[in-house]
Amino acid sequence: MQYRTFGKLEWKPSALGFGAMRLPTISEKSPGRSTHQMDDIDEPQAIELIRRAIDLGINYVDTARPYHQGESERVVGQALQGGYRNKVKLATKLSVSPKWIRSADDFDPFLDDQLKRLQTDHIDFYLLHALQKTRWPALREMGVLDWAERAIADGRIGQLGFSFHDEYPVFEEIVDAYDWTFCQILYNYMDTEFQAGTKGLNYAASKGLAVSVMEPLRGGQLARTPPESVARIWDGAAEQRTPVDWALRWLWHQPEVSIVLSGMSSLEQVEQNVRSASEASVDCLSAEAWKRFDDVREAFRALSPIPCTDCKYCQPCPQDIPIPDVFALYNEKVMYGEDGQGFTAFSDYGASRLLEKECVACGQCEAACPQQIKIIDRLRVARAYLQGEAA
């Protein structure tokens, strides 16, 4: 196992961390439900996976209250019994949903309940979960930073960080607002300019923050057998690797990446990913290999079926349908070969809201579209595909 730096801390994290958002479940994934929404965790298998990962050198386990509808923390707590808790740094998150946090009075009960679920007396790395432009100000007004410092002082929290889901300017604002130890961002070779992106990675690192990466495989999209146009590019590489190995190495090549979190749900995935983490390191890619990722990125994007440029001439829609966003999600799922599986994997970050309103075929959008897209028909097809139904 390769070990890396973690911001200003002397502790060295394993290059690969165990993300407990996609633990194995008993039932198969249902249409419209992402893996982390499934609460029927196969507990013996999940515990075996987590312990095997730790035995192979992984020293960072990440979970959160919402994962598996609250069951992930409990199962992780069980897995870390028998001496495993002392072998890892444990991360979980303050989930800012009104379901749990309505005022500052909720902070302590929430954390204390997490400690019980995880069967521990402290959380090594505690994150404010999924910060964005509305959640962050609300938490600040509740006094979350003062509360967190008290929890650090009394030993329930070791280090404070945040995870992020919004645009780059919001990310920079949050980084500058407090002396964080670390942050967690969505990042992979296809999403270099999405949310925090490469710019955010570099900015956080320049401020001394450790950066934990989530969704390195876009929720499994980059792990699939690639389409022919992409496969041809990989086949031309001097070294032959699996799609997963390529995607992980792209991240580990960058010194600003402190740790890569993977939601592994089988022993095979654990062992393959650990093997990659044991071989890869900073600057592990040749200049030729690094350039090949640009070609792969363009090949994927060329597969988009709807030529929407996000010009927003179709907005506002009288029915409040975010047409460019619907088309962007549809394009992505077609690009990565999800075959109309509904909202799954990478697309579950609030994606269902895109289909809340029905098109009434008024035609206003088509009259305004400079690309002359048949928007009404395309919306019908996209909606059916995204909902896992026949068009």
Beta bridge partners of 94: 128
Q: How many CB atoms lie within 10 A of CB 348?
A: 17
Place of tokens 């444990």: 90
Q: Which residue has the tokens 């988009």?
A: 304
Q: What pLDDT score does 250 carry?
A: 98
* Chain position carrying tokens 């992984």: 58
Q: What is the pLDDT of residue 353?
A: 75
In one-letter notation, the amino acid at residue 336 is Y
* Secondary structure (3-state) at 70: helix
Q: Is the pLDDT of residue 388 over 90?
A: no
- With 50 as the cut, is the pLDDT of residue 32 above it? no
More confident residue, 97 or 151: 151
CA–centroid distance for 164 within its chain: 9
Rg of the chain over Cα atoms, rounded to whole angstroms, equals 21
> pLDDT digit string (tens) for 42-53?
999 999 999 999
What's the confidence (pLDDT) of residue 387?
A: 81
Both tokens of 35, joined, read: 């893996």
- Give 387 or 366, the one with higher predicted confidence: 366
Tell me the per-residue pLDDT of 198-249, one tens digit each, with 9 for 90 and over. Answer: 999 999 999 999 999 999 998 888 998 999 999 999 999 999 999 999 999 9
Q: What single-letter amino acid sits at 338?
A: E
CA-based torsion, 7, 8, 13, 18: positive or negative: negative
Q: What does the alpha-carbon distance between residue 254 and residue 64 come to, in Å, rounded to a whole number?
A: 26
Whether the per-residue pLDDT at 28 is higher than 70: the answer is no
**pLDDT range class, residue 141, cuts 50, 70, 90:** very high
pLDDT tens by residue, 34-91: 556 577 899 999 999 999 999 999 999 999 999 998 899 999 999 999 999 999 999 9
How far is the C-alpha of 286 from the C-alpha of 195, rounded, in Å? 27
Q: Between the CA of residue 173 and those of 132, 137, 351, what are the distances in Å?
A: 10, 11, 25
Torsion of CA 205, 206, 207, 208, to 10 degrees: 50
Distance CA 301, CA 295 (A): 10
57 burial type by CB count under 10 A (0-12 exposed, 13-18 middle, 19+ buried): middle
Q: What is the pLDDT of residue 31?
A: 46
3-state secondary structure 305-358: CCCCCCCCCCCCCCCCCCHHHHHHHHHHHHHCCCCCCCCCHHHHCCHHHHHCCC
Q: Give dist(CA 359, CA 380) in Å, integer.
A: 8
Q: What is the CATH number of domain 16-293?
A: 3.20.20.100
Write b or e for each residue in 168-191: b if 16 or more Cβ atoms lie within 10 A of its Cβ, otherwise e: bebbbebbeebebbbbbbbbbbbb
Q: What is the pLDDT of residue 240?
A: 93
Encoding tokens for residue 225?
């057998």
CA 152 to chain centre: 26
* Amino acid sitting at position 270: V
Answer whether residue 184 shows pLDDT above 50. yes
Indicate the pLDDT class of residue 97, thresholds 50, 70 and 90: confident
Region 7-30: mean pLDDT is: 89
pTM greater than 0.85: yes
Angle between helices 107-118 and 71-79 (to 10 degrees): 40
272, 271, 264: which is closest to 244 by C-alpha? Answer: 272
Give residue limits of the domains in the chain: 16-293, 323-386
CA-angle at 21, arms to 18 and 94, nearest 5°: 95
Mapped onto helix, strand or coil, the DSSP state of residue 151 is helix
What is the per-residue pLDDT for 339? 63
Higher pLDDT, 386 or 115: 115
**pLDDT tens column, 305-360:** 998 888 888 999 999 999 998 998 888 888 887 765 555 555 555 566 778 889 99
Q: Which amino acid is it at 11? A: W
Name the token pair of 195.
Answer: 């949310």
What residue has token string 């009404």? 376
Phi, psi of 285 (to 5 degrees): -105, 140
What is the C-alpha to C-alpha distance for residues 376 and 364, in angstroms, rounded to an integer?
10
Residue 13 has pLDDT above 80, yes or no: yes
